[in-house]
Structure 1
Amino acid sequence: MPKQQTRRVPAAFSEPSGTGRWLRGIHFSAFSLVMMGVLVLAVVILAPTAQSFFAQQQQIADQQKAVDQLAAQVDALKEQRARWNDPSYIRAQARDRLYYVMPGEVSYLVIDDRPPAAKDADAPVSSKLQKTKTDWAHTLFGSFMGAGLTDATPQQLSGTPAPTPTPTSTPGGKR
């Protein structure tokens, strides 16, 4: 019986790990190295080109959106121009904007000179309905009845003091 020869294997390779076994299983040929080099070169060359292509596509889409908005604006302006060709529209605009009236008509312009209602910016706004503490119908009826049955003068009702009479001298009177 022939004697078997045993090889001495270093301790690091005597028990191959999963990674070591996997790395030893990979065999690179010259063709696969050339193909990987071509692939890396293609990525390096094509990546900036692809990036500029996608940026240009985005710019084209933005410009198309702007063109669509401008086309809609042109259509609106054409409609407005068509309205201005209508004499009744011109008459209506002259009445509204310039306060013109037709011959024989009288125009009244009412200017609201009351100050705007004061707003309390710090007042909380409630999302719930709130019930008022007074009966507005009863208050309105009391106001009508009070105004109709009072003997007070308009100065007394408005709160302004009545003018006091000034003494006058009578002609030919004694001094």
Structure 2
Amino acid sequence: MRRPAAPSSRPPQPRPSRSERASGRASRGGSATVDPRDWLGSIRLSWFAVIMLALVVMAVLVLVPSVGGYLELRQQIRAAEHSVQVTKDEIAELQREKERWRDPAYITSQARERLYYMMPGEVVYLIDDDLDHSEDPEDPAPVSAEVEEKRSDWTGFLLRSVANAGLAQQAVPEEPADGGVFAPDPEPTETPG
């Protein structure tokens, strides 16, 4: 506790402001730079400030792990909500598929496509794609927006096509005389080897 000062006979003098003190130092020292040791020496920490600083540091040390846990839990909640939404979407798709299976026309079309069933009296043609995938046509070049004229000798191509068709050997054998049914040879012929 401070004791009240005894009254003095001198009138109190006003304290100089910071700028006046800095200018007074600059005029005395001749330079306007501040020495870091003087600046650090002028900082005074009270016990209250030290205790408050220690409490802030302790609060940070205590709260950082719990804040990290909180953020991790929020991330897990978002992941779980996303998973629930994906599952709801899948359930909705399965419900739509279930409704489609209640339609007799859909069942008939699926039986035709998947199981190759047919209705009585229908004839089904199955086409087997026996071509090698390497023989599939390549992707065509992109189509340009501009019209281009291609030089071609279409008359020569037409004449060659007609000539080849006229000079080609017979592609289809004539029909057999015994009613249109080909029969295998009764005796197999041996090939010389």
Tell me which interval the TM-score lies in, with the shorter structure as reference length: 0.5 to 0.7
1:113 positional shift: 2.7
Q: How far apart are the structure 2 equivalents of 1:62 and 1:54?
A: 12
Q: C-alpha offsets along residues 10-50 of structure 1, whole Å, 9 cap, x if unaligned?
A: xxxx9995311220221111111110011011011111111
**Residue type at the aligned position of 1:56:** L
Could you tell me which residue of structure 1 aligns to residue 118 of structure 2?
101
Tell me which moved more, 17-26 or 42-51. 17-26
Could you tell me which residue of structure 1 aligns to residue 104 of structure 2?
87
1:114 positional shift: 3.1
Q: How far apart are the structure 2 equivalents of 1:69 and 1:102?
A: 40
**TM-score between both structures, scaled by the size of structure 2:** 0.58
Selected match of 1:27 from 44, 69, 84: 44
Selected match of 1:61 from 56, 74, 78: 78
1:142 positional shift: 5.1
**TM-score between both structures, scaled by the size of structure 1:** 0.64
Could you tell me which residue of structure 2 aligns to residue 78 of structure 1?
95
Closer/same/farther in 2, CA of residues 138 and 38 from structure 1, 3 Å limit = farther
Q: How far apart are the structure 1 equivalents of 2:36 and 2:153?
A: 90
Q: How far apart are the structure 2 equivalents of 1:66 and 1:107?
A: 45
Q: How far apart are the structure 2 equivalents of 1:68 and 1:136?
A: 64
Q: C-alpha offsets along residues 117-159 of structure 1, whole Å, 9 cap, x if unaligned?
A: 448xxxxx98797x9x98496686356413421153549xxxx
Alpha-carbon RMSD across the aligned residues, in angstroms, is 3.4
Closer/same/farther in 2, CA of residues 126 and 100 from structure 1, 3 Å limit = closer
1:94 positional shift: 0.6
Q: How far apart are the structure 2 equivalents of 1:18 and 1:136?
A: 97
**Residue type at the aligned position of 1:25:** S
Tell me which moved more, 143-152 or 59-68. 143-152
Q: How far apart are the structure 1 equivalents of 2:160 and 2:129?
A: 24
Q: How far apart are the structure 1 equivalents of 2:166 and 2:125?
A: 34
Could you tell me which residue of structure 1 aligns to residue 56 of structure 2?
39
Higher relative contact order (CA 8 A, sep 6+): 1
Closer/same/farther in 2, CA of residues 31 and 151 from structure 1, 3 Å limit = closer
Q: C-alpha offsets along residues 93-130 of structure 1, whole Å, 9 cap, x if unaligned?
A: 011111111122111111133333448xxxxx98797x
Q: How far apart are the structure 2 equivalents of 1:112 and 1:136?
A: 35
Closer/same/farther in 2, CA of residues 17 and 126 from structure 1, 3 Å limit = farther
Query: Unaligned stretches of 5+ in structure 1?
Result: 1-13, 120-124, 156-175
Identity percentage over the alignment?
29
Query: Unaligned stretches of 5+ in structure 2?
Result: 1-28, 173-193
5 Å-filtered alignment, 1:151-162, equals 151-154=168-171
5 Å-filtered alignment, 1:104-119, equals 104-118=121-135
